[in-house]
Amino acid sequence: MLIAIPDVLDADGVARLRALIDPADWVDGNATSGTQSALAKRNAQLPEDSAAGQAAGAMVLDALAATPRFVAAALPRKVYPPLFNRYAGGQEFGAHVDTAIRIRRGSDFRIRSDLSATLFLDDPDGYDGGELVIEGAFGEQRVKLPAGHMVLYPASSVHRVTPVTRGVRAASFFWIQSMVRDDGARALLFELDQGVQAAAAAMGQEHPESVRLTGVYHNLLRRWAEA
């Protein structure tokens, strides 16, 4: 399931976040790469322990908590502290699959990476290339969203970032361990949630059909979730 989530950050939020990360000290992006990714990855990244990166990551987490579409789509149990990368001058990230278990260095924090997320921090007309290309059951999907918008996709998918040949492409990226491990079950719950919201808007939350659909949603979540 690939889901675009608009307006995680508004223009002011993007500007405040960029004011933190742009002047910071960036390092080789392979600082957090697995063996396979290191062969394909050419970009710059903020160190995980940098003050700027941690402050900006906290801003992203606050924004996610206030974004109902993210909560409904991801059903997050754990979120890896957001990281930040940027591409310029032909840099790219070749085809790879994200590591199944992400461990934060110097801590006992670890998650199973069910979902990957990319939060775009530059508008598409500011750079050439830089599409996030995700391979799925229906072929390749190319994603290049406005600043402040985010895409969620299965961490198990093969994906890549095409070379950035003009300008700079900055983004936040991170992983989510969902309460519902199975992608198909999670997709069904998301579609049902959207239906529940539409029914409530059309008929009212106290209408018997709204109550019935809400009950179905929660009973399925109760069946599939790992809390």
Check residue 113 and give left, alpha or beta (phi > 0: left; psi -120 to 50: alpha).
beta
C-alpha count within 13 angstroms, C-beta hemisphere, residue 6: 1
Tokens of 190: 């998301």
Do residues 80 and 174 make contact, with C-beta atoms less than 8 angstroms apart?
Answer: yes
Residue 142 assigned to a binding site: no
Angstrom distances, CA of residue 174 to CA of 94, 136, 168, 214: 18, 20, 20, 30
Tokens of 182: 């199975």
- DSSP 8-state symbol, 140: E
Helix (H, G, I), strand (E, B) or coil at 46: coil
- DSSP 8-state symbol, 41: B
DSSP notation for 93-111: EEEE---SEEE-TTSS-EE
- DSSP 8-state symbol, 30: G
Do residues 21 and 46 make contact, with C-beta atoms less than 8 angstroms apart?
Answer: yes
With CA atoms as reference, report the closest residue to 114 among 34, 185, 42. Answer: 185
Residue 159 assigned to a binding site: yes
Residue 149 assigned to a binding site: no
Residue 96 assigned to a binding site: yes
Binding-site positions for 2-oxoglutarate: 169
Binding-site positions for Fe cation: 96, 98, 159
Binding-site positions: 96, 98, 159, 169
